[in-house]
Chain A
Amino acid sequence: MSTEMYTVSSSPHIHSKDSIQSIMRDVFIALLPAALVGVWVFKFQALIVILLSVASCVGAEALWQKLTHQKISVNDYSAAVTGLLLAMNLPPTVPFWLPIVGGAFAIIIAKQLFGGLGQNFINPALAARAFLLASWPVQMTTWTIDGVTTATPLGILKEGGEALPSITDLILGNVGGCIGETSAIALLIGGLYLIYKKVISIRIPATFIGTVLILTWILGRGGMFYPYAIYEIFTGGLFLGAFFMATDYSSSPVTVKGQYIMGLGCGILTTVIRLYGGYPEGVSYSILIMNLAVPLIDRYTQPRIFGEVK
């Protein structure tokens, strides 16, 4: 009788090549076009904010895992994605300590304290943005570059003052705003890349953007059938939020129906905040609010299983 022993494990014995690392790397790659436009528009300042934010997130994750005696898993890119997303949600003019504080908050408070990767119930980057906005509202809403104040298109729509930028500038990204939200076209390229790579499905972004478009058109600023509805979907962080943040795996539904509800809910809340709320922009808060509803959505949208008899 032989004594050789082979590896014994439960089937299946082959696995797809996809890994957490490859998925997060794809998200990082998909964010780069918009981040590069941000650096192009806001110059060196934006680059520093991005680097600090990414470094803060990765550093906070490594430090936390080291202190809590966990396996350090920063090579899975998930902290780097959070850092990049956070930076893209910050004005380019923030003091340099702000992305560092924000990154640490995102990773430690919003992610690790709830169990780390996959366990956070809200989007860490958005949670950090909300925290920073509440704590340092002045720094978070100053859009002054080289002594020139550039209000965001939504700010102008809400409060008036300046002339609105052209829709071409809006799509290309040549407008005021957060580092990563200015260029709708760059965000769209990144989003389509993620859909093509099957990292995300089109369900949440399409319903989100579609709902904002239709609702803004119907309710409109100053009356029904508002002609600027198309213009407004390219403003603010709608594309950034719809493609990259409302689709965050751990804080969005896994069921097909649930994903439509997520997009719809985000769209309704965004429009309502934009048109009637105190803030000019509603994407971040709408996503955060919907994040809280995700467990409930998943529970009530269980799919009909094959052969189910009611």
Chain B
Amino acid sequence: MKQFNYTITDALGIHARPAGMLAKAAKTYADTEITVTCNGKTAKATQLMKIMSLGVKQGSVVTVVAEGPSEEAAIAAMDDFFTSNL
């Protein structure tokens, strides 16, 4: 299991556009489960609407976890995704 914490800087939080892009990015690692946790609620990165419903705002801290055969590559991709988009 690999994980990291990230503080959201995007003014709108995890809104539709990055959530969509996140789901797309996460789907490329079909064998690895990627989850996002915020305010005690967890959703899989591929669950677009559920991710949006976490209500992640600017300043929120999220925990991203990857678990599975490609977790190494997946967590690196997620780290990159969050830093450049959120």
Q: Do A and B bind each other?
A: no
Which residues of B come within 8 Å of A, CB atoms?
none
